[in-house]
Amino acid sequence: MKRRLAGLLLGLIVLVADQASKYWVLHGANLTNGHILNILPVLDFVLVWNHGITFGMLNGLGGIGWVVLAIVALAVVSGLTLWLWNAEKFVTTLAIGAIAGGAIGNVADRLRYGAVVDFIEAHMGAYSFYVFNVGDSAIVCGVAVLMAESLFRKTPSPASGGPSPLQQSGGGDRKAP
C-alpha cells in the first residue's frame, strides 16, 4: 500500500508543480507577449502553445485535434493508474506516478486552453532543443526510469534454481523429432 500511495503522491506533486509553473508563466512572468526570460546561458523561458503532442508532433490535426489528443491521453492515464495499482516495485510506482502527473497536467491544459503550455527552452548557441514544460520533464524521467528498471531487472538464473529463458518461454521442454 505504501508504494501505491508514494506513486500517487508523486503524481500529485508533479501535477501541482506543472500547473503552478504554467500559471506563473501565463500570469506572472510576462511571457505572454513574446518576451524571453534568460535563466542560464543554455536555458530560457519562452511561451509556446503546443497544439500537437510531445515535441509538437501531430500539430496539424485541426480544430478537433485537441479533443482527440485529450481523450487518448486520458485513456493512457487510466492505463497508467491500473499499472501503478498493480506494480510490485516501489521504483515502478514512482515512475508511473511521475508519468501520470505530467500527462494529467498536459490534459488539463488541452481542456482549458486547447493546447499545452510549454516554456522551458534548452539551447546550445544557435541550436535550440525542444520547448517543453515541467510535466514533459516528469514524463521523460519516468519513462527513463521504467526503461532502466526493465533493462537492469534481475531474473532468476538457472544456476540459482530459477527457470532458464527457454523454460520461461515454454520452449525448454520440447524434444527434437
- Is-contact 114 23, C-beta < 8 A? no
- Is-contact 32 26, C-beta < 8 A? yes
- Is-contact 48 71, C-beta < 8 A? no
**Of 97, 106, 107, 93, nearest to 136 (Cα)?**
106
Alpha helices in the chain (DSSP H): 2-27, 65-86, 90-113, 134-151, 165-168
Measured CA to CA, the distance from residue 172 to residue 177 in angstroms comes to 14
Measured CA to CA, the distance from residue 23 to residue 43 in angstroms comes to 19
Measured CA to CA, the distance from residue 110 to residue 113 in angstroms comes to 5
136 is catalytic: yes
What residues are annotated to the active site? 118, 136
